[in-house]
Structure 1
Amino acid sequence: MSAPTRILVYGVYGAGKSTLAARLAERLRLPWYPVDDLLWRPGWVEVPVAQQRSRIEEICRRDRWILDGAYHGWRDLPLGRADLVVGLDYPRWRSFGRLLRRTLRRLATGEEICNGNRESLGSVLSRDSILVWHVAAFGRARRRMRAWQADPSGPPVLLFRSPAALEDWLAALP
């Protein structure tokens, strides 16, 4: 396979999508569009889905891009244009552990996530906590990735079940 130029990185919260997207962007010299920056306004105000879709559609019309997620209101757009889907299909314990460590680090440091937004103790302890989202979304994300991989009409899907397997693939990239 020649080097892909339109890549969707997919996985559950905490799997490492953004970290991988940044690495791929540097390695393959492709523009990376962090999905959180496109979906959230300051104060954790969600961009309306129609506007999200318009933003993603504009990106997906381009010949070169990396997206680090795909959500319900516009998932079809990157899937319809991607040269490759890279799925981080790690065990729940691994992705949840990464998410928990990242969340605690962000709480301690006040690290900005996107558009001035930060995690707070209140958000982490709420019903809308990213930790709760992980638990609720894990099985769906896993089934979705595996269905995409089994669908011959869609883009090629590489599923990585361990960071070591991902590192081997990255090392072999041009």
Structure 2
Amino acid sequence: MKRINVIGTSGSGKSHFSRRLAQKLDFPCIEMDAVFWLPNWEHLDTEDFLLKLQSLLEQEAWVLDGNQSKTNTLKWQYVDTIVWLDYSFFHTFKQILVRSFKRSWSKQEIWEGTGNTESFRRNFFSSESVIVWMLQNYWKTKRKYAKLFASELANSVRLVRIKSPKQAELFLANA
């Protein structure tokens, strides 16, 4: 277990879990959103994003936090383990609400050097809301990853499905 991709729907806690796992294993943690997002909520175009991501994935070991389907072909050439945080809808919804409120209140920069912060307007009253995104994509993401875990990829990659915070803690303790 040297190249690990942590996946899951928005709000599942991928970044938090990935940082903890990377720290435990003493591996670099690569947060795909931190690579993707530029200042003022602009983002890299797909080609530049994939080139930058590829250079990071060529490292010997890492924990990669992120989904972005357009990266699957690239990242899964390197990955040896995929960890799916597959928490219940209600748990995930609660987490994303709490996170969105805290980030809106604190105005803390999300990805260093971008100046990007969240606001109550963006999180609760906008079509760009991560909460709306989670609500629209939770079940679709769940079906997509269930298919993935039943695919031939299981023959070449270790697949770990974590369905509760308790299972996540156990996995981290034994990593």
TM-score range, shorter chain: over 0.9
Q: Percent identity?
A: 28
In structure 1, the residue matched to 2:119 is 120
Unaligned 5+ runs, structure 2? none
Alignment-mate amino acid for residue 15 of structure 1: S
In structure 2, the residue matched to 1:160 is 162
In structure 2, the residue matched to 1:44 is 41
**How many residues matched?**
170
In structure 1, the residue matched to 2:129 is 129
Would you say the 8 A contact 2:83–2:159 is kept in 1?
Answer: yes
In structure 2, the residue matched to 1:147 is 147
Query: Post-superposition shift, 1:41?
Result: 0.5
Deviating more after overlay: 14-23 vs 143-152: 143-152
Alignment-mate amino acid for residue 126 of structure 1: S
Change in 2 beyond 3 A, CA 1:144/1:79: farther
In structure 1, the residue matched to 2:58 is 61
- Secondary structure of the residue aligned to 1:67 is strand
Unaligned 5+ runs, structure 1? none
In structure 2, the residue matched to 1:84 is 81
The structure whose residues are more often helix, as a share, is 2
In structure 2, the residue matched to 1:20 is 17
Distance 1:43 1:66 in 2: 27
Distance 1:9 1:78 in 2: 11
Give the alignment partner of residue 101 of structure 2, picking from 100, 104, 116: 104
Deviating more after overlay: 70-79 vs 88-97: 70-79
Query: Post-superposition shift, 1:82?
Result: 0.8
Would you say the 8 A contact 1:70–1:78 is kept in 2?
Answer: no
Would you say the 8 A contact 1:149–1:156 is kept in 2?
Answer: no
Deviating more after overlay: 161-170 vs 149-158: 149-158
Alignment-mate amino acid for residue 172 of structure 2: L
Would you say the 8 A contact 1:6–1:82 is kept in 2?
Answer: yes
What is the RMSD computed on CA atoms of the aligned residues?
1.3
Distance 1:140 1:53 in 2: 24
Distance 2:153 2:7 in 1: 18
Distance 2:109 2:72 in 1: 26
- Secondary structure of the residue aligned to 1:159 is strand
Query: Post-superposition shift, 1:166?
Result: 1.4
Query: Post-superposition shift, 1:153?
Result: 3.1
Divergent runs of 4+, >6 A = none
Alignment-mate amino acid for residue 97 of structure 1: K
Query: Post-superposition shift, 1:157?
Result: 1.2
